[in-house]
Chain A
């Protein structure tokens, strides 16, 4: 058989070309060849779906990152002792070698601001400001014994998301995409949604680090173009756009004929995919096909209003469309002062929609193979900051919750001491959490490596132990 440039280009394209938005066109031959080629690890298209290391519990992830560090003592980890000793100094023994960020650690203890309640069959103890989460308490797994090294926001956010305080490492989402590829036809495999304000860690929180850029998170934006530069320039309508792209395609095809460079074939595909994205992204952002009941469940009053609740619903729509990793960022939780009012407000902004996402996924049968994570970058001190209404950064313990396939439900993991200062049982380091998250995706954190600068890097660096106790 004689190999023509087109055949060569197509083969090359299938083998080697990553185009950032997952698998290829639905409408052409490439697509079928691709699908025929997705069942083994040998497919070298970097974004083609890949087999995990072992049978996964979940296929996709929604990570609701609560930036600024939510106070575990107001939300998840009630301490009667703090109520009893409100205003007293913490025992000196606790403070040996301890460094807080802002305050002199020799500051008075501060009672939690809210009563806690037992929820569900499991009797999980949660703050009264989280009534909606309480309703799904039997579906979640709460970890009260999280630990990290960092005590400043930017390094700690980077630590949670990339496993290192140093910038330049790939994020969890990027590693997931690298390990598993993308199953989405028309959308990026790793999507980022932001509410409140920009995060301390910035774009590095969801970056590709040293991995090829195609693995990085693509922000979907609530205002303006959902994907940057999605709209045609003023004055150009969709027909002119189509005619322009036809011309581009025809001219590029002619170049491909004469030059034979398969990158030209990839370029043709990229432009076609861009065209499809011009339809699929706005369609995704449009909530008109959601029922009033669904909108009400998330607490969405105006479907056009950009906020956390809308992002939660968008997250569900994204995973429904095959997106591998969705990450929400909500930077609002840094309560050095105004603790009571602001935690309450943040809870109002996030509790209902976070819980609704769990319910919604469950009722659609998606929860069993989706992983949901809710948490921030560190915890807050049992000691007061300022007068009597603030808490400083605390890295010795914090809480977060998970839901979805492969996890115990209605289960509380780990224990902190009476002051909510140290972990006394079942500590979970960031690296342990990340190892476990990858495990649920069917990836062995020791084997998911990328050779960079002569070293096989891992998300968990040289650390990380599976938290077996939270696995079902």
Chain B
């Protein structure tokens, strides 16, 4: 079905209302007047005028603005007031929209059709009655309206009935209990009740059942889905290579947060800025994976900054759709034409998110966290012992720092003008500190060209550096942030010379090298730093210090065999070839005689350069470690620390998350002209849009402040958007149909007062999603029968008026989970890595990069809940797409349901559905009694939570008889029907035959495909 397909009667009735307003003397005040403005007047102005006379200064014509009253009264450059309150005939606006001159008529013919007579008379009446502007309803904080006197005690029902009575309608009767039970189960946990649960429901009643289900672990597995859609969650990076990423820890965080009923404001705050909450926990850092769910381009030769900007746009788009209910995309390139969001304000919000690293960290499970804490505590204890044994430790470290600063050779970092890779796949960039950053596609060979001062140069230094944008801070780019350098070569080209001269490097030293190791049957060698100058690409330097200490800098110093002097203008080229790519490094030259690398870990030398007050805990540790290792007397304790590090646990998985850039590495945000990444305009500081509630003034870091602002109690949007999304999941449509857009172009909702009441109530109840769901599910409005009369269908085809209960086909994941549950296949297990579902080979074959890891799960894992399925962006699961699951390329706040033959084929023939029909047949034979009649009843209870009527009994019975007959005649092979294999049989329930199982496989497949089975009710 489609949204734009409004039935004709609706348009007609709108017109009718419009004409009524036009012909009556204008005498509506207060609330109604505001509503009239919002429903009738503003849409005319928005649709016909604001493209040229709105918020956007850049496209504003004639200096005239019509979205604000004062501006409209003042008029534009022509100096004549566009609107003269009370006097439509003196108003330039009316003159222009009714003009017969093609030069004068507004909107200009090339911009759109003229206003129709009704629109014109509505505007005239409005001006006549004073031309009062009202703020857009969704931009004013919601209030609870006084509840009407009503026969209904519950506020939802009172408000709905009040509105229905104005239409001469009323709430329908309560749904049949069985159906209601199934509805409640599907809405809370996304699974149908078992026959036993159905029985319990009749005993326990509605409220107890609701509470029981809200407390179930299955709750989060159902309710995470809409948020995962909005947060564009995926297990791959997208774009052509579409490689795997580890992000399921975030998905599990969402499920857990919902199960724990984490208040929605905290839920959002942690996802935007959990890392900035004081003493942030691992979970709070995982939460910021929300921002990192953007696609990542790893195509060859890309410029990483270009696609970082695309990710930034995506993040704001996602926050706009999921939290703000505001469209933001327009303002990337120009001020929003309809909503109060200027381009400057867009980049102001952008700036809150822009000062971050694209970090990746390990995620430890409970056992590992305990082990980690144990190790860290033991180390702390040993360090305390060391400190106690040497009371002057601080001064001694200060002395060491001093030596680091003064006793090292002088090195000049090289500024390059040409940085590239031989393959062109990677384009390194040089940072302000002259370090080279190599993000984007990995490449084994890079080169850098400079024209440094070459007078008596004796040595070349490479610092292999960590960077928070690299995996686990690097320095390497492999799966653990490690690296290997095969060879470093240096060439010069004197001015006017044609050829490059290769220079000999020798006497390589490093702060650390791994011991020599033979690999690949002795053909290659890794370890000592000398391997980078041995002229052999099959050997490489590695400096991996093991799991706990791997991600730290290293240094190597290479001597020129003969000191290098060359005239000015001589080109100096470094070529570096790697096994696993280095992500960040810096090259420097020295004239010191016979330079070597100090043996202390290089992190300490770097930390010594940082003013003591600015040092991070990690930098302090580097210095402490260097000091303790330098003290012979501490050897015993020091060795104990080193052996503790070896106990450090290996993590279960990792997470892409946000991390704030410190002051010394702060990133300035620029407005991007026309939204183009390489056209930075004026610098922008973090700001929130002026038309909304103000930012609270506190000392939190900016991104955390922004996170609080998004879900501030004063926010007009946050609670409304959240409540609306919950309503949408339960009723099929939101109270605001465009769940992602509450702006001025969104239709004013039928039940605005209800939405506002629920939004305020949501905040008053500490943003509790479970309480909100409970409130909705205990209402009569929810519990109405979904049976629809022809009259209701005629008057209200989409059930916008809520005079009947919700009925619609369940979401893709629920449809699949239901089939597995009804078959008895569903295997409950919380969380963990994505489960690979079966996908046809002819789909797999058309990946750009073949996913060799795509080995469908077998055994119980195959039948986990669909929320745990591995989701690959460029290969959306076809079975789920057929039921309208979005593919996570971008945020999706609302699924549009379709009803297609492709979905029918999926439910009939897709392997999981087929396996479900086979398993369900066995279940029915096992549990459903000895006659086909009792089995049919049981099957109906499993699938539809009710008994079949006589006709239904007859149809299924006839199908069974037909199939038994055909099997008996030899037309069908029962084994193949039950197992898919012509010669295999499963273990059959006692007293049943393969013929029973085969006939019942057919019947189960039919029942699993019924509209009632896959729908709510």
Contacts and interface: CB of A to CB of B under 8 A. Distances in A.
B902 A44 contact: no
A385 B424 contact: yes
Interface in A225-250: 225, 227-237, 239-240, 243-244, 247-248, 250
Interface stretch (A191-199, A292-300, A367-375): A191-199
A102 interface: yes
Nearest to A277: B901
B962 interface: yes
A459 to B, nearest CB: 16
B971 interface: yes
Contacts of A18: 1-2, 898-900
Most buried by B among A204, A251, A258: A251
Interface stretch (B650-658, B703-711, B836-844): B836-844
Contact of A235 (B840, B977, B1006, B1012): B977
Given A168-B889, A199-B848, A247 B955 contact: yes
A244 B976 contact: no
B327 A454 contact: yes
Interface stretch (A8-16, A122-130, A136-144, A353-361): A8-16
Given A16-B797, A274-B904, A5 B239 contact: no
B43 to A, nearest CB: 11
A274 to B, nearest CB: 4
A104 B876 CA distance: 37
A255 B1 CA distance: 20
A142 B973 CA distance: 58
Interface-centre pick from B327, B842, B962 (highest chain A CB count, 10 A):
B842
B887 A203 contact: yes
A235 B910 CA distance: 14
A260 B899 contact: no
B980 A229 contact: no
Given A166-B310, A200-B239, A266-B899, A3 B905 contact: no
B423 interface: yes
A260 B889 CA distance: 37
Contacts of B963: 240, 243
B905 A230 contact: yes
Nearest to B978: A235
Interface string B28-52: 0000000000000000000000000
A154 B306 CA distance: 13
Interface stretch (B570-578, B742-750, B767-775): B742-750
A200 B299 contact: yes
Interface stretch (A213-221, A398-406, A427-435): A213-221
A28 interface: no
Contacts of B902: 20-21, 218, 227-229, 274
A102 B418 CA distance: 13
A252 B1011 contact: yes
A179 B99 CA distance: 33
B746 A454 contact: yes
Contact of A203 (B424, B794, B874, B959): B874
Nearest to B896: A212
A21 B887 CA distance: 21
Contacts of A154: 239-240, 297, 299
A114 interface: no
| Most chain A beta-carbon contacts within 10 A, residue among B300, B882, B898, B905 | B905
A115 interface: no
B552 interface: no
A453 B848 contact: no
Contacts of A247: 955-956, 958-959, 1003, 1006
A225 B955 contact: no
Contacts of A267: 809, 899, 904, 1011
Interface in A12-43: 12, 15-21, 42
Nearest to B418: A104
A331 B848 contact: yes
Given A15-B5, A17-B1, A271-B904, A235 B972 contact: yes
A19 B901 contact: yes
A203 B982 CA distance: 36
Nearest to B51: A456
Task: Report, as a range, how many residues of chain A touch the other chain.
Answer: 35 or more
Interface stretch (B479-487, B660-668, B783-791): B783-791
A29 B894 CA distance: 34
B793 A8 contact: yes
A214 B790 contact: no
Interface string B994-1017: 000010001101100111100101
A251 B955 contact: yes
Given A102-B301, A455-B330, A252 B1010 contact: yes
A203 B878 CA distance: 11
Contacts of B424: 101-103, 336, 385, 392
B738 interface: yes
A145 B874 CA distance: 31
Contact of A46 (B5, B303, B420, B790): B5
A240 B966 contact: yes
B40 to A, nearest CB: 18
A255 B418 contact: no
Given A227-B902, A451-B4, A454-B339, A259 B976 contact: no
Interface in B858-909: 873-876, 878-879, 881-882, 884, 887, 889-890, 896, 898-906, 908-909
A263 B4 contact: no
A451 to B, nearest CB: 7
Given A204-B889, A235-B973, A236-B977, A228 B901 contact: no
A236 B329 CA distance: 50
A163 to B, nearest CB: 14
B972 A240 contact: yes
A152 B900 contact: no
B302 A152 contact: yes
B807 interface: yes
B1006 A102 contact: no
A282 interface: no
Contact of A212 (B2, B321, B738): B2
A233 B914 contact: yes
Given A244-B1002, A454-B746, A224 B841 contact: yes
Interface string A430-456: 000000000000000000001101110
A201 interface: yes
B981 interface: yes
A60 B93 CA distance: 44
B972 A102 contact: no
B301 to A, nearest CB: 4
A214 B900 contact: yes
B959 A20 contact: no
B906 A228 contact: yes
A432 to B, nearest CB: 18
Contact of A455 (B327, B846, B884, B975): B327
Contacts of A155: 239, 297
B439 to A, nearest CB: 14
Contacts of B904: 267, 270-271, 273-274
B848 A270 contact: no
Contacts of A99: 303
A21 B901 contact: yes
B1006 to A, nearest CB: 5
A225 B842 contact: yes
A251 to B, nearest CB: 5
Interface string A261-276: 1111011101101100
Contact of A228 (B6, B843, B917): B843
10 A-B pairs closest in CB distance? A102-B424, A20-B900, A202-B874, A235-B976, A200-B240, A454-B745, A44-B5, A235-B977, A168-B890, A453-B327
9 contacts: A229-B840, A240-B963, A251-B955, A263-B807, A270-B900, A271-B1009, A273-B904, A393-B301, A451-B4
Given A17-B899, A247-B1003, A393-B301, 10 more contacts: A16-B2, A16-B7, A228-B842, A229-B902, A233-B1005, A234-B980, A237-B972, A243-B959, A263-B899, A455-B330
